[in-house]
Amino acid sequence: MEEKQFAGILNGAVPGEPVKKDENSRRGNWGNQIEFVLTSVGYAVGLGNVWRFPYLCYRNGGGAFMLPYFIMLVFCGIPLFFLELSFGQFASQGCLGVWKISPMFKGVGYGMMVVSTYIGIYYNVVICIAFYYFFQSMTNLLPWTYCNNPWNTPDCSGVVGTGHRLNGSLANATTSLVVGVTEVVNRTKRTSPSEEYWKHYVLNISDDIGNFGEVRLPILGCLAISWFVVFLCLIRGVKSSGKVVYFTATFPYVVLTILFIRGITLDGAINGIKYYLTPQWQKVLDAKVWGDAASQIFYSLGCAWGGLITMASYNKFHNNCFRDSIIISITNCATSVYAGFVIFSILGFMAHHLNVPVSEVADHGPGLAFVAYPEALTLLPISPLWSLLFFFMLILLGLGTQFCLLETLVTAIVDEIGTDWIIRNKTVVTLSVAIVGFLLGVPLTTRAGIYWLLLMDNYAASFSLVIISCIMCICIMYIYGHRNYFKDVEMMLGFPPPLFFKVCWRFISPVIISFILIFTVIQYKPITYNDYVYPGWSLAIGFAMALSSVVCIPVYALYKISRSPGATFRERLKNSCRSHPKWGPALQEHRTGRYAPMASEDTVEARPLKEKEELKEEQKEEEKEKERKDEISLTIQGSNGSTNTHNNPNPSA
């Protein structure tokens, strides 16, 4: 019986097992391992899988792009994913607490928090625009179908006619379609109704990034809804979000499949898919293709955001995160490829209708999600239905990522402060972060908001993520020591990391990360939006945002060195890099081997004086914590992500 229970622990929770109490009653754990996998899939699979990967694929050689893409997945994506999951799970701490491994590098954790803050602010604005389009699709006729609206210009040319025969017969409608297509072919510069709806109605875009204008109230209202939904789903931490992801992480695949089946039945769909997949093998020799593949893998999996460490910290200590990392990484990349079929089947149909090459209707980013694809949907019968499904899918894809971004910040704050009050009132922290995030997002709902959104997207989480990830690899493998970390993983999983991952962690992945950084610098071009060129002062703000996360690393390192004991700089540096006495498994029952409590005072005396005093103080605090455990168990509420049961005598400490 005991052997079965131990085997169950090693493999994590599986369906059909009886409900177990939380292993870590202070922080809480996932209800079962499926919740963790679904949450991580929802985190990794985001808007970029739909609006960036398909575009990169056709621009970089179609099917030939798959070769460097999957090579980068194997040698960089999966190893980094496994590294971050094992890092968070071993320490059961968020992106700040894990740096007890080498306190001087805690600035990396602060850098992750800064990046997650930036992304969380603008990502929810994208979700709120998807909410707006979703609500606007609840109509008999999509508002971006025709050119007869007050916001349209004389250059507007629709793909389904001019709109003045709305009540005409089927024959008239057909004639209107032919006229519309003819107009498109004859025009040298076509402006679609969906583009004008996006620019002149939804955004009412200003002429300059500094010209904010008024707040777009409909977008502001949708932003409030978006943050409220995120808060509700995280109101009880991973206990509530773990249940929500059963829907938010799976239903997008249902929608993708529906849109895929509808798309491949349309005329011209095969041409779009051929355009997406036809290999151009000569491009495999182009360094830019490999750079794009490495960058897409790195950014798509969410490495260095802090979210993977945070989500893994709620796992049970012996969970098989090696298996999870492979499942989640492959699912993420397979979703990107699958989404390409969905996107290009519809775009191929649209190009067929317009009698133009697929390249003229293909787009990426907001241009694909809110202009090109919605316009293609207007050509379908019952177009509002397909529009509802598409934008509902975008909302769910965005929310899956947003849940983890918010939980990353909340967990870091709660773990860092660590008082009984803040653990009991984690919901208050979640609400506070959500309110601050909403307020910081308000400028992005103004007429200049899209300029700022794209500026944050291009600079806030670009090369800074690469630097953070590279330093994390160096710290774990070379400062803490690869042998120590391999032993930690073996103690946690019951088996050492495979040789392939050992080699990747130490050599291959850091080299690829460095390549991505160099590639990013070489390929840098100042950001533009359509014909608008960003002024120099706005680019300076963009670089300041990018550096604000990286600068945390040297600033905190210098602070830690100055506060560390030692007569010389070398001694201070050495002591600041040494692991904190509390580094290791969070629960006493897992602190075995070299993490076991010291057997004698002689071992304590061997430590530096300041470290010895810190350790004794911490031991006293632990004794006091144990005395208060029974009292806390009666007061801790569900807001900390743990369950309250009468038979759980070991509550949060």
Contact between 527 and 534 under an 8 Å Cβ cutoff? The reply is yes
Copy the structure tokens of residue 608.
Answer: 């530096």
Q: How far is 475 from 55, CA to CA, in rounded Å? A: 35
Residues of the binding site: 42, 44-45, 49, 300, 332, 397
Q: In the structure, what pLDDT confidence band is assigned to residue 24 with cuts at 50, 70 and 90?
A: confident
Rounded to whole angstroms, how far apart are CA atoms 348 and 244?
35
What's the pLDDT at 622? 58
Q: Give the chain's end-to-end CA distance (angstroms, integer).
A: 30
Over residues 77-103, the pLDDT tens digits come to 999 999 999 999 999 999 999 999 999
For residue 638, pLDDT over 90 is answered with: no
pLDDT, tens only, 361-375: 888 888 889 999 999
Place of tokens 């850098």: 111
The whole-angstrom separation of Cα 46 and Cα 307 is: 13
Q: If pLDDT is split at 50, 70 and 90, which confidence band does 159 have?
A: confident
CA pair distance 31, 12, nearest whole angstrom: 10
Q: List helix spans (H) across 266-320.
A: 269-277, 287-300, 307-312
Cα–Cα distance between 298 and 308 in angstroms, integer? 13
CATH topology of domain 33-147+193-563: Amino acid/polyamine transporter I (1.20.1740)
- Residue 549's Cβ-side half-sphere holds a number of Cα atoms within 13 Å equal to 31
314: left (phi over 0), alpha (psi -120 to 50) or beta: alpha
Q: Identify the residue whose tokens are 């670009």.
A: 462
Residue 335 has pLDDT above 90, yes or no: yes
Contacts of 432 (CB under 8 A, 6+ apart): none
E-state strands within 323-444: none
Buried b (16+ CB within 10 A) or exposed e, 511-537: ebbebbbebbeeeeeebebeeeebeee
Annotated binding site for Na(+): 42, 44-45, 49, 300, 332, 397
Beta bridge partners of 446: 215
* For range 18-33, the mean pLDDT: 80
Beta bridge partners of 532: 529
Report the Cα 589 to chain-centroid distance in Å.
33
Name the burial class of residue 114, with classes exposed (0-12), middle (13-18) and buried (19+) by CB atoms within 10 angstroms of its CB. Answer: buried
pLDDT tens track for 167-184: 333 333 333 333 333 343
Say whether pLDDT at 643 is over 90. Answer: no
CA 541 to CA 35: how far, in whole Å?
39
pLDDT at residue 360 in the model: 86
Residue 609: pLDDT over 70: no
Work out the mean pLDDT of the chain and round it to a whole number.
86
The token pair that represents 286 in the structure block: 């182009």
* Nearest alpha carbon to residue 461 among 322, 303, 609, 592: 303
Lowest mean pLDDT among 200-214, 456-470, 624-638: 624-638
Res 23: pLDDT: 86
- The percentage of the chain sitting over the pLDDT mark of 90, rounded to a whole number, equals 71
377-424 pLDDT, tens digit per residue, is 999 999 999 999 999 999 999 999 999 999 999 999 999 998 889 999
Lowest mean pLDDT among 129-138, 294-303, 543-552: 294-303
pLDDT classification of 627: cutoffs 50, 70, 90 = low
> Which tens digits make up the pLDDT trace of 412-471?
999 999 888 999 999 999 999 999 999 999 999 999 999 999 999 999 888 899 999 999
Residues whose CB is less than 8 angstroms from the CB of residue 235 and which lie 6 or more positions away in sequence, other chains included:
427, 430, 639
433 with 413: CB under 8 angstroms? Answer: yes
Q: What is the pLDDT of residues 469-487, one digit of tens each?
A: 999 999 999 999 999 999 9
Cα distances (Å, whole numbers) of residue 172 to 166, 175, 179, 248, 383: 9, 5, 10, 43, 19
The model's pLDDT over 508-540, given as tens digits with 9 standing for 90+, comes to 999 999 999 998 888 888 999 988 999 999 999
Amino acid sitting at position 590: H
For 194, 394, 641, the CA distances from 207, given in Å and listed in that order, are 19, 28, 47
Cα torsion for 257, 259, 260, 261, to the nearest 10°?
90
Cβ(98)–Cβ(88) below 8 Å: yes
Structure confidence at residue 259 (pLDDT): 95
- Each domain of the chain, given as residue ranges in start order, spans 33-147+193-563
- Name the residue with tokens 């601050």: 436
Are 553 and 471 contacting, i.e. CB atoms less than 8 angstroms apart?
yes
